[in-house]
Structure 1
Amino acid sequence: MKKWLWLALILLGLIVVSVGGWYYYPQFKIDRLKAQNAAIQDSADKPESHNVSYIGHLRNLPGKAIHHLALGDSVIQGRGSTEGGFIKIANDEISSLTGKKAILDNQGISGATSGDLLRFLSTPDMKERIHSADLITINIGGNDLVTLALKEGPVKALQDYANVKSSYQNNLVEIFSIIRKENPDAILVYNELYNAVDSEETFFPATRKLLNDWNLIAYETTANNKPSIVIPSSEVLKPENRKEWIYDAIHPNDKGHEMIAKQMIKTLEAPYQQK
């Protein structure tokens, strides 16, 4: 009996380790990518460093204007904000910091999924907009998760999870590919998905796992398409403080959008990295 008991305990331990790895691995990878970016930022802060920031790069571009294209869903649109959303707030700050007119072309579509954005970018008009942009900011993927959550029952959602995740990854890779084909040099800025679920909810750990999976895909895709960077919005839009920054069940309010905008500017002050 003791032999079987030990085998059972070993098997249980392996399962726990495997599940733990499955749950925590995406966050571990994201933290490593953030740490690498922080190390680059630290080196740029040294007096002997001559690295130009993304803001500095935009300032040094020829011409008197910066063309800023915004793509994605209702968060890009500015839902919940009376000030045009984080994209408008950050755009005004970019204009101030560079001394140039930042022309914002907001193409956000409420309810858009990654598949919708992919189809949208395939039109001749959008390709021309992409070609003319100096800066492209993207917020997409949240509605892919909402679609998954609306499936009939948790079992069905679990069955479809792998397919939805794979579809999102393929769509995001193709979205970046289309952008880079039309414009190899524009700075791509991806806004990290944040958790709008109250940390006291019983299903909060599950939403954290899903968002980590989605954000890891975004971090890795962005890293493969330099010059590009991710806004770590989840570092300021924290679930435990959601009442301060939430507008409805999903979207940020004025304060939330302002917090994202500040994170975007802080992110663009990192050293500019070419491909």
Structure 2
Amino acid sequence: MIYTALGDSITFGENASSFAKAYPRVAASLVNASSSHKVIGYVLARPGWNTLDLLDAAAWQGSSVISRSAVVSVWIGGVDLANAALSALASKQVLDAKRIVARYKRNLHAILTQIQNTSPARILCCTQYNPFPNSPLAAKAISGLNQTTKEVAQSYNAKVIPTHLWFEGKQSQLIYGYRKGKIEDALGGFLPIHPNDRGHQVIAKGLAPYLALNK
């Protein structure tokens, strides 16, 4: 069975100690080690990709592997939100979260449509965990993003993977370079938003059951 993980820097494995430690590869390994059901994993993800970048990649770079996939996971949107939040913070303007979420919704619809037009694969839509739990602005914006993910996924009969629940209250243990859990932590240039190896392991363990044939 081919499993393809679509996403941004989180799916790519940014700040993991190696690509082998990133959640898509770990999840596939867990399934292969625990059952006769063998999974071959592919990753279509790059640091900095927003929803529009992923849509373009899925249509051009990934169409061949997606067409042969039995399962495709989609984890995107963090870059769209983070870029807008940091820009608003730096310029001391109010974040227009509704506009960001509306654009995310349009692009996620387009991504899932592209997948369904290309492949009969089961689609898994991952929610976004909050790397800044001590910033009310981040909590509100990410909650809106996740609600939209659930709504869009439902319209495509896609399964929602509740990644945000796996990280809730454990961000300091699971995020690489975690500091105070505030958006301001990212103003120095380094973004403390990616899972560390332990975080990727948590994601992989939660995701692995969904890769089984009948889940």
The answer, yes or no, to whether TM exceeds 0.5 is: yes
1:172-251 paired onto structure 2 within 5 Å: 172-183=108-119, 185-197=120-132, 199=133, 201=134, 204-226=135-157, 228-238=158-168, 240-248=169-177, 249-251=192-194
What TM-score, normalized to structure 1? 0.66
Displacement of 1:163 in angstroms is 2.2
* Cα distance in 1, alignment partners of residues 143 and 213 from structure 2: 23
Instruction: Give the AA of the match of 1:132.
Output: R
Does the CA-based 8 Å contact 1:135-1:189 persist in structure 2?
A: yes
The match for 1:116 among 40, 53, 59 is 53
In the superposition, relative to structure 1, how do residues 131 and 271 fare at CA in structure 2: closer, same or farther (>3 Å)? Answer: closer
Amino acid in structure 2 at the alignment position of 1:246? I
**Residue type of the partner of 1:71?**
L
* 1:148 shift after superposition: 1.0
Letter in 2 for 1:110: P
Q: Distance in 2 between matches of 1:267 and 1:127?
A: 22
**Gapped regions of structure 2 (runs ≥ 5):** 178-191
| Partner in structure 1 of residue 206 of structure 2 | 263
Code of the aligned partner of 2:77:
G
Residue 180 of structure 1 and its aligned partner are, at CA, apart by: 0.4
- On the 8 A contact 2:51/2:77 being kept in 1, the answer is yes
Question: What corresponds to 2:183 in structure 1?
Answer: none
Please tell me the residue identity of whatever aligns with 1:81: A
Deviations 1:173-228 (A, max 9, x none): 01000100111x2111122100111x4x3xx22211111110111111112222x3
Q: Give a deviation string over 1:233-256, Cα, whole Å, max 9, x none.
A: 222212x33221111310111111
Q: Percent identity?
A: 26
Report deviation, 1:266: 4.3
Tell me the SS of whatever aligns to 2:194: coil
Select the structure that is richer in helix.
1
TM-score, scaled relative to structure 2:
0.83
Distance in 1 (alpha carbons) for counterparts of 2:113 and 2:143: 23
1:223–1:271 Cα change, 3 Å = farther
Residue equivalent to 2:31: 94
Please list every run of 5 or more consecutive structure 1 residues that lacks an aligned counterpart in the other structure: 1-65
Aligned residues: CA RMSD = 2.1
Residue 141 of structure 1 is matched in structure 2 by 77
1:150, 1:190 → 2: CA distance? 25
Out of 100, 104, 114, the position equivalent to 1:164 is: 100
Runs (4 or more) in structure 1 with deviation over 6 Å come to: none
Larger Rg belongs to: 1
Residue 94 of structure 1 deviates from its aligned partner by 2.2
